[in-house]
Every structure is written in structure tokens, then in C-alpha cells.
Amino acid sequence: MIAYRFLTEDDTSAFCHKVTEALSKGWVLYGAPSYAYDAGRGVMRCGQAVTKEVEGPYSPDVKLGQL
């Protein structure tokens, strides 16, 4: 199965650390990063999709961050 996650964070180094951690655990970048203004909070937000090939069937109970 291919697992999919969309990582988001404010536009700070925390976003880069979140993506780097996922890559270090075997996740692979999927597409280009996104960047948008969150008017409600007044901050820029970043997003990046990542995928990972994992064993077993899909279940909605899967904890994607633990893969």
C-alpha cells in the first residue's frame, strides 16, 4: 500500500524540520510544496505531500505519523 500524508506548518524552520523528519523515516516528497496566507491567523503556511510504501492493507485506524 502507498500511504499519503500532507504536512503543514507555519512558515518557520519547524516546517522544514517536520518534512526532514518524515524524509528520514522513509517518506518521499510527492509534488511541489505549497505556500498560502492564513488570513485568520495572519501568518504564511507551508504544505508538502509525502508518500511511503508500507506493508499491509489500508485501514482508517492507521496512524500515518507512526509509519
pTM: predicted TM-score of the whole model, two decimal places? 0.88
Identify which of 19, 22, 43, 23 has the alpha carbon closest to the alpha carbon of residue 33: 19
What are the residues whose beta carbons fall under 8 Å from the beta carbon of 18, sequence distance 6 or more? Answer: 7, 9
Q: Is residue 66 part of a domain?
A: no
Q: Is residue 65 part of a domain?
A: no
Contact between 26 and 52 (Cβ < 8 Å): yes
Reply yes or no on whether the pLDDT at 65 is more than 90: no
What integer pLDDT is reported at residue 52 of this predicted model? 97
Q: Is residue 62 part of a domain?
A: no
Q: Is residue 67 part of a domain?
A: no
Residue 22 domain boundaries: 2-57
* Total structural domains within the chain: 1
Three-state secondary structure call for residue 52: strand
What integer pLDDT is reported at residue 66 of this predicted model? 87
Residue of higher predicted confidence among 64 and 6 = 6
What is the arithmetic mean of pLDDT over 49-65? 92
Give 20-46 pLDDT, tens digit per residue: 999 999 999 999 999 999 999 999 999
